[in-house]
């Protein structure tokens, strides 16, 4: 799993089980990989954990990184266990000869090290010098550690400078990207439970990714870590940084025009489409007046109108079904779309569907009025354009 050097941005997560419990930890590693994690970090906090790693690493579907704090000997033990990466915390492994010993061993084995600076456990000398965990202090901590690694000609490095305060996290990584040229691991540390933790993580990580900063990411949520992996993967897909592998459900927020309970229909569609595991963008829209037009970019969608659902592909209505069958029809058509492609499904559209949909739409406009005032606006535009100067 390459990180940096133009490789796709990768998703990381971390197990929450006791590492010595090999079966439980492996089960969680598999769940994380299925949820979208490309790399999994596991704590190596005692000898039992290192022994567990020796059994876990060869059976893992993804690369395993050992998370090391305080005891450099556990980094050496993790390397012996065969891990594919180390994370060292410069705030609590501070003796240069210990860091150099780990670097020598990692270099011999071709294993990368992440210099994982964390605002909450910053080197106390740097805290004294900078007064608090400022972006400058976090970057100085990374530079100090890299200096020790450089003494052993160790260059296979990733860096993180995590902070729990989003603006400080963003500033720290911007400064880091301006100062050093290594692959960066992004994260908002101790972000907390969702939804707040998700919002903080997205705010920090997405801001940086959109600036071209960051090579691998981790959401640090107080939640099932599978949620972290899924959220990380989804973020990368939404930012077009990774190919879509799962469902992207878009839905209108509903309003007074809605002809169905949009929330209930969207939830039912989400459950059924996720079970079907289709890698497409699906729209659920509350009315046929605006729905198909506003969601024309979606691969497939459904809009509600006058007791019927209008199924559309790339904005073209292909079927009109009774309201009670909307979600099942959407699911059937989505499966066919993935199998046959959009052109084939548009060509196979029900005869009369487009006409029926257009009549439904006109009728609804008559009943509800045109909230967009399209006709009046066109008339006003024509009047202004043809006015004599
Ligand atoms: S699609 Fe229709 S129901 Fe949904 S928000 Fe737009 S106008 Fe309202």
pLDDT computed for residue 374 by the predictor: 66
In a domain? residue 59: yes
Greater confidence, 237 or 307?
A: 237
Distance CA 174, CA 296 (A): 37
Choose the residue to mutate in 259, 262, 291, 305 for probing ligand 1, maximizing ligand atoms within 8 Å of C-beta. 291
Residue 360's domain comprises 248-368
Mean pLDDT for the stretch of residues 341-364: 90
Q: In whole angstroms, what is the distance from residue 278 CA to residue 273 CA?
A: 7
Pairing of strands 300-305, 308-313: antiparallel
Q: Which of 289, 292, 370 to mutate to test the pocket of ligand 1 (most atoms within 8 A of CB)?
A: 289
CA 291 to ligand 1: nearest atom? 1
pLDDT of amino acid 125: 92
Res 259: pLDDT: 83
pLDDT tens digits, one per residue of 205-248:
999 999 999 999 999 999 999 999 999 999 999 999 999 888 89
Q: How confident is the model at residue 295, as a pLDDT?
A: 85
* Range from 293-302, 303-312, 336-345 that averages highest in pLDDT: 336-345
Does residue 257 line the site of ligand 1, with CB under 6 A?
Answer: yes
Handedness of CA 197, 198, 203, 204 (dihedral sign): positive
**291 vs 321, residue with greater confidence:** 321
Q: Are residues 155 and 84 in the same domain?
A: yes
- 271 with 129, same domain: the answer is no
Largest CA distance in the chain: 87
CB 65 within 8 Å of CB 185 = no
Burial of 349 (0-12, 13-18, 19+ CB in 10 A): middle
- Give the DSSP H/E element, type plus range, for residue 10: strand 10-14
Cβ–ligand 1 contact at 99 (below 6 Å):
no
Q: Quick one: pLDDT at residue 389?
A: 61
- Nearest-CA residue for ligand 1 atom 2 is 287
What local confidence, expressed as pLDDT, does residue 266 receive?
93
| pLDDT bracket for residue 367 (50, 70, 90) | confident
- Total domains in the chain come to 2
The pLDDT score that the predictor gives to residue 373 is: 64
Domain end marker among 238, 265, 295: 238
- The least confident of 6-10, 38-42, 378-382 is 378-382
As to burial, measured by CB atoms within 10 angstroms (0-12 exposed, 13-18 middle, 19+ buried), residue 245 is exposed
pLDDT at 322: 92
138 to 122, 243, 388: CA distances (angstroms):
7, 33, 65
| 270 and 322 together in one domain | yes
For residue 237, with 0-12 CB atoms within 10 Å meaning exposed, 13-18 middle and 19 or more buried, which class applies?
Answer: middle
* Nearest residue by C-alpha to atom 1 in ligand 1: 291
Q: Is 258 in the pocket of ligand 1 (CB under 6 A)?
A: yes
Mean of per-residue pLDDT scores for the chain? 93
Q: Quick one: 36 and 163 in the same domain?
A: yes
Ligand 1 midpoint to CA 331 (Å)? 21
Q: Which of 238, 258, 293 is the last residue of a domain?
A: 238
**pLDDT of 260 over the 90 cut:** no
Give, in degrees to the nearest 5, the angle at Cα 168 between 203 and 7. Answer: 60
Q: Is residue 377 part of a domain?
A: no
Question: Do 182 and 234 sit in the same domain of this protein?
Answer: yes
Sheet with 300-305, strands from edge to edge, namely: 248-251, 281-285, 300-305, 308-313, 316-322
- Condensed to tens digits (0 to 9), the pLDDT of residues 120-171 reads 999 889 999 999 999 999 999 999 999 999 999 999 999 999 999 999 999 9
Do 223 and 259 sit in the same domain of this protein? Answer: no
Task: Look at residue 237 in the predicted model and tell me its pLDDT.
Answer: 94
pLDDT of amino acid 370:
63
Would residue 66 count as lying in a domain? Answer: yes
The region that residue 282 occupies, defined by phi over 0 for left and psi between -120 and 50 for alpha, beta otherwise, is: beta
Rounded Cα distance between 334 and 319, Å, is 12
Give 294's contacts (C-beta < 8 A, 6+ positions apart).
252, 285
Q: Do 19 and 140 fall into the same domain?
A: yes
Q: What CATH number did the domain enclosing 302 receive?
A: 3.30.413.10
Same domain, 330 and 354: yes
User: What is the average pLDDT across 323-333?
Assistant: 94
C-beta separation of 225 from 32 below 8 A: yes
- Residue percentage of the chain with pLDDT more than 70: 98
CATH code for the domain of 152: 3.20.20.20
> 153 in a domain, yes or no?
yes
Full-model pTM: 0.86
What's the gap in Å between 264 CA and the centre of ligand 1? 15
Whether 252 is in the pocket of ligand 1, judged by its Cβ within 6 Å, is yes
Is there an atom of ligand 1 within 6 Å of 290 CB?
A: yes
Asked if residue 286 has its Cβ within 6 Å of ligand 1, the reply is yes
Instruction: Looking at the structure, tell me whether residues 192 and 112 fall in a common domain.
Output: yes
Residue 164 lies inside a defined structural domain of this protein = yes
Structure confidence at residue 206 (pLDDT): 98
């Amino acid at each position: 799993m390459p990180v940096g050097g133009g490789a796709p941005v990768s998703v990381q997560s971390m197990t929450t089980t006791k590492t010595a419990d090999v079966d439980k930890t492996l089960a969680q590693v598999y769940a994380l990989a299925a949820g979208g994690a490309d790399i999994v970090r596991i704590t190596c906090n005692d000898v039992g954990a290192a022994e567990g790693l020796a059994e876990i690493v060869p059976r893992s579907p993804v690369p395993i990184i050992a998370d090391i704090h305080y005891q450099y000997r556990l980094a050496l033990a993790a390397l012996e266990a065969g891990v594919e990466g180390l994370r060292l915390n410069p705030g609590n492994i501070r003796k240069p000869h210990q860091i150099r010993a780990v670097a020598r061993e990692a270099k011999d084995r071709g294993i990368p090290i992440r210099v994982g600076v964390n605002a909450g456990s910053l080197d106390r000398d740097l805290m004294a010098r900078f007064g608090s965990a400022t972006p400058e202090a976090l970057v100085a901590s990374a530079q100090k550690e890299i200096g020790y690694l450089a003494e052993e000609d160790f260059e296979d490095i990733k860096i993180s400078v995590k902070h729990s305060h989003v603006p400080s996290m963003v500033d720290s990584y911007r400064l880091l990207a301006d100062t050093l040229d290594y692959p960066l691991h992004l994260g908002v540390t101790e972000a907390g439970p969702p939804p707040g933790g998700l919002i903080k993580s997205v705010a920090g990580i997405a801001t940086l990714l959109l600036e071209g900063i960051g090579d691998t990411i981790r959401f640090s949520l107080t939640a099932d870590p599978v949620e972290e992996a899924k959220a990380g993967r989804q973020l990368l897909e939404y930012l077009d940084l990774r190919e879509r592998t799962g469902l992207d459900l878009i839905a209108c927020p509903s309003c007074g025009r809605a002809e169905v309970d949009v929330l209930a229909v969207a939830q039912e569609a989400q459950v059924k489409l996720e079970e079907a595991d289709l890698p497409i963008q699906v729209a659920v829209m509350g009315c046929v007046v605006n729905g198909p037009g506003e969601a024309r970019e979606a691969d497939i969608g459904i809009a509600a109108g006058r007791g019927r659902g209008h199924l559309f592909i790339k904005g073209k209505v292909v079927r009109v079904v009774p309201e009670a069958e909307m979600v099942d029809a959407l699911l059937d058509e989505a499966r066919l779309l993935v199998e046959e492609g959009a052109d084939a499904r548009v060509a196979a559209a029900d005869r009369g569907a487009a006409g029926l949909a257009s009549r439904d739409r006109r009728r609804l406009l008559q009943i509800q009025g045109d909230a967009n005032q399209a006709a009046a606006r066109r008339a006003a535009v024509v009047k202004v354009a043809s006015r004599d100067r």
